[in-house]
Structure formats: C-alpha cells, structure tokens
C-alpha cells in the first residue's frame, strides 16, 4: 500500500536508515519498556521499536495510514494502534505498570501545542524523544542572554529538562522539508525544582515580558508587577526578559501574585 504525504497533516516521512538507527540507539528501548509513538506515519521506526520494547501504542490521525499500519503490523501482539488526534488524547490512560516513553516525528505546525499537552500529563511520562524543526529545538534549549531565548524556552524548561541530541537534514524525509530538523529528548522534572504558586499568572507574566523584547521589565510588566516586588527580590527592573532565568520568572511570579492578592508576603 502506497501513501502519498499529505500537506494538511504536515506529513514528512522519515526514510534515512542511518538516521533511523541513530534514533533507535538514542531511545535505547528495553524489553520491559512501554513506548508510545505519535504519528508513526508509514512505520519507519515502528518496526524496530516493536522488536526491542515490551509494548508499543501508536497514535495516528490519518485514517489511510491507520489502515496501512494495521495491515503491516497485524501480527504483532505487543502493538496497539489508536486512530486519534494526539492533541486531544489522554496519554495517561495508556499507562499500566511502566511509565510511558514517547517518541514521534511531530508535524511542525502543531509541535509546540502537542508538547505542552503532553507536559500537562507528566505523572505518567518517563521521557520523550521528538523530531522537530531545528529552529524550535534551538529555542527550547536556549539559555538566558541567547537571542533565541524566549517564552518557549522558559515555559518548557520549567516543566522538563531539554536535551538536544543531533541534527537531521531535509534529505532524510520524503518529501524533504524546507528546514533543518533536530532530534531532542525531554525529561519531565520528577520532582520539579520549581515551586510555582500560580501557574496562570506565571504564564501571563512570561508572555507579557517577552511581548516587547527590547523594553525593560519595568515597562513590559508595569500592569502585572508592583515596583516594590523587584526591589525585594533583587531583580533589576531595568533588565530585559531575556536576562532572567526560568527560576527568576518563578520568583517574580510568586511574589507578584502574592502582592496582587494582598497577602503581603514580601
């Protein structure tokens, strides 16, 4: 069965055997692992994962690919295919004895929403391995002071450890994307090193801080954080968002939220 890649699903199928082998080596599946593959496509890495892992669930949205995968892996007792949208899927419902290990070649147009959806379910996830646009991976792993450091860097690093592994050229896919790709590992914090008191306010604060990168925090956050908060935390209100580490944003959000609620925790 031949399947033509569909642009509306952002499909770029991996076919490079050398890259596939590097991916398998990086994941290093064990016989008792419970893997979950998001967007298995035509099964380029599925077959090797099935040979090495104890159990593999696959999530695929394209119904034509679902039929192809059901036909190809019909005899595999440790394979379960779910015809579903990963953005709406309850991944923790799959967990049995082992924490889940996730892998996927994520469509670039929805990769960030999928990652955040997964990181809302950290209790059942051991680690994640994704093929993403290299530019996105660079932003995910960026450190303060780097020009690529921004909202995505902060919000993702507050939820997990980001480990870029290796780059992947366009020729490894069919059709070749117009951008470089990269393979990255995400490990949800267990336990989290951050005590976040108000997740919603933290998200608003980080978004606002990076909304006008060239402006100082004094100006970008004037509607969210009282000047007294900066002084108490020894954070310079004349600095810019890109100069603050994720932990600084947590301290600023916790104190700012308490001050706004009149809790006088300064």
| 13 and 55, same domain (yes or no) | yes
The confidence score (pLDDT) of residue 109 equals 84
| 133 and 232, same domain (yes or no) | no
| 181 and 225, same domain (yes or no) | no
Q: What is the pLDDT along the chain (266 residues), one digit of tens a residue?
A: 444 444 444 457 788 899 999 999 999 999 999 999 999 988 989 999 999 999 999 999 989 899 999 999 988 999 999 999 999 999 999 998 899 999 998 888 889 999 999 999 999 999 999 999 999 999 999 999 999 999 999 999 999 999 999 999 999 887 888 889 999 999 999 999 999 999 999 999 999 999 998 999 999 999 999 898 998 898 999 999 999 999 999 999 999 988 777 654 54
182 falls within a domain = yes
| 142 and 214, same domain (yes or no) | no
Q: What is the pTM of this model?
A: 0.90
Q: Which domain holds residue 23?
A: 7-188
The confidence score (pLDDT) of residue 263 equals 53
Q: CB of 252 within 8 A of CB of 232?
A: no
Distance CA 170, CA 31 (A): 32
| 149 and 244, same domain (yes or no) | no
193 falls within a domain = no
266 falls within a domain = no
CB atoms inside a 10 Å sphere around CB 17: 10
Tell me how far CA of residue 99 lies from CA of 27, 162, 225, in angstroms: 14, 19, 39
| 71 and 104, same domain (yes or no) | yes
Angle 1-49-95 from CA coordinates, rounded to 5°: 110
134 falls within a domain = yes
Distance CA 98, CA 124 (A): 8
Count of the separate structural domains present in the chain: 2
The confidence score (pLDDT) of residue 87 equals 95
Q: CB of 250 within 8 A of CB of 158?
A: yes
| 107 and 211, same domain (yes or no) | no
The confidence score (pLDDT) of residue 97 equals 87
Could you give the 3-state DSSP secondary structure of residue 175?
coil
* Residue that is last in its domain, among 188, 212, 246: 188
| 11 and 75, same domain (yes or no) | yes
* Residue that is last in its domain, among 137, 158, 188: 188
Select from 56, 3, 7 the least CA-distant residue to 27. Answer: 56
* Residue that is last in its domain, among 188, 210, 226: 188
| 222 and 143, same domain (yes or no) | no
């Amino acid at each position: 069965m031949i399947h033509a890649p569909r642009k509306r699903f952002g499909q770029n199928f991996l076919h490079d055997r050398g890259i596939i082998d590097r991916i398998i080596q990086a994941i290093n599946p064990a016989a008792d692992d419970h893997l979950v593959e998001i967007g298995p496509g035509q099964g380029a890495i599925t077959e090797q994962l099935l040979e090495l892992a104890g159990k593999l669930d696959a999530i695929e949205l394209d119904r034509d690919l679902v039929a192809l995968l059901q036909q190809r892996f019909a005899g595999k007792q440790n394979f379960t295919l779910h015809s579903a949208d990963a953005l709406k899927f309850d991944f923790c419902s799959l967990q049995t004895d082992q924490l889940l290990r996730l892998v996927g070649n994520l469509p670039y147009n929805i990769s960030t929403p999928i990652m955040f959806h997964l990181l809302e379910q950290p209790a059942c996830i051991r680690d994640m391995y994704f093929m993403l646009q290299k530019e996105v991976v660079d932003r995910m792993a960026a450190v303060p002071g780097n020009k690529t450091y921004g909202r995505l860097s902060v919000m993702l690093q507050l939820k997990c450890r980001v480990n870029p592994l290796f780059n992947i050229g366009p020729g490894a896919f069919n059709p070749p994307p117009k951008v470089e790709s990269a393979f990255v590992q995400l490990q949800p914090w267990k336990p989290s090193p951050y005590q976040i008191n108000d997740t919603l306010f933290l998200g608003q604060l980080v978004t606002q801080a990076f909304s006008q990168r060239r402006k100082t925090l004094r100006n970008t956050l004037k509607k969210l954080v009282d000047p007294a908060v900066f002084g108490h935390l020894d954070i310079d209100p004349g600095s810019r968002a890109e100069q603050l580490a994720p932990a600084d944003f947590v301290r600023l959000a916790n104190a700012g939220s308490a001050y706004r609620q009149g809790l006088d925790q300064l």
